[in-house]
Amino acid sequence: MNKPLFMRIVTRLANEVSFFQRRRDATGRLGLSGLQKATTAIRMMAYGCAADAVDEYLRLGESTAMSCLENFVEAIIYLFGDEYLRTPTPQDLQRLLDVGEMHEAVASHYLWIWHEFFGPPSTSNDINVLDKSPVFDDILQGRAPKVNFFVNGHEYDLAYYLTDGIYPNWSTFIQSISLPQTPKASLFATLQESVRKDVERAFGVLQARFAIVKNPALIWDKRKIGKIMRTCIILHNMIVEDERDGYTQFDVSEFAQAESNRSSHVDFMYSKDMPSNMCNLMAIRTRLRDRNIHEQLKNDLVEHIWRKFGTTQNEY
């Protein structure tokens, strides 16, 4: 994290959160500064060190360090959560779709939305609680922007996730092909797994930047772990925004295409305040789990990818 960004965070904490404001004790001596408290929390998150490992460097005890971390994560979520941990807007979705088209990649029709901070289930144990997952709440309740895209000449209006074979055959899940027997199936499996791994590595980026994410968390309860995760993602997004211009290595205008070439579209006028009732919920739920749509979409994607990349399949 660059120093100007860190100081901007510290300044807002000191000005707007009482815990990080410097006070005098009963003897009139000044207590810890907001900079000391914020530095303590950042070091614990970045290095994954114990609370009693910062006592000599920052002059505060273990219990105070724990308090700094807990108040820091709550303050970051309160001050920056709405801006850096919001749900995607229609503009965000259209930009994601356009990026896929500009790069002519497989991801041109793959929409990735992290609901809250985890997004869809990612391990076999999570399948047991898939029905309780909040991933599709916005779709079921009519709050999600309407997305339209075409694959192999067919129109679809539901975003979907690339998954592995443990997921059910829903219209919102597209698995790889195990043991592909044809060149088309082999190419699809290769590219599907490649793109899916790119998304899964996003969690690895957080682990590399914040060691607290990969260390054991036995002393924390689930509520505190959730707040720490949210804070790590908020800080990561702030760092990316702050450093974005510095690591862009290509001119995206080279990939720009005309408006008429779009094969995907987000309806900006789509109402997110649709009245929901049991009939609507059941109808949308049925569409989400439609196996026929799943098979048709998967077959269309196989054909689309083969038509687009089949001539260069040896590169993969």
Task: Look at the block and give the residue holding tokens 């919102």.
Answer: 172
User: Which residues are 174's β-sheet partners?
Assistant: 162
> Do 208 and 202 form a contact (C-beta atoms < 8 A)?
no
Which amino acid is present at 252? V
Q: What is the pLDDT along the chain (316 residues), one digit of tens a residue?
A: 889 999 999 999 999 999 999 888 788 888 888 999 999 999 999 988 888 888 777 778 888 889 999 999 999 999 998 888 876 666 666 666 554 443 333 333 333 333 333 344 444 445 555 665 666 776 777 666 677 888 888 988 887 888 888 888 888 888 899 888 899 999 999 988 888 787 777 778 888 888 888 877 656 788 888 899 889 989 998 998 888 766 544 454 543 444 444 555 555 555 545 545 667 778 877 888 889 999 999 999 999 889 888 866 555 4
253 three-class SS: helix
Domain extents for the chain?
Answer: 3-84, 87-218+264-310
Task: Look at the block and give the residue holding tokens 């689309």.
Answer: 304
pLDDT the model gives residue 8: 93
34 three-class SS: helix
DSSP 130: G
Q: How far from each other are the two terminal CA atoms of the chain, in whole angstroms?
A: 36
User: CA-to-CA distance for 96 and 100, rounded, in angstroms?
Assistant: 6
Contacts of 99 (CB under 8 A, 6+ apart): 107
DSSP 264: E
> Do 291 and 173 form a contact (C-beta atoms < 8 A)?
no
CA 298 to chain centre: 24
> Do 230 and 45 form a contact (C-beta atoms < 8 A)?
no
User: CA-to-CA distance for 35 and 9, rounded, in angstroms?
Assistant: 10
Structure tokens that stand for 166 in this block: 């443990």
Which amino acid is present at 72? F
SS3 content of the chain, % helix, strand, coil (to 5): 60, 5, 35
Structure tokens that stand for 182 in this block: 């044809």
* Bridge pairing between strands 264-267 and 154-156: unpaired
Signed CA dihedral, 71, 72, 78, 79: sign only:
positive
Structure tokens that stand for 312 in this block: 């260069």
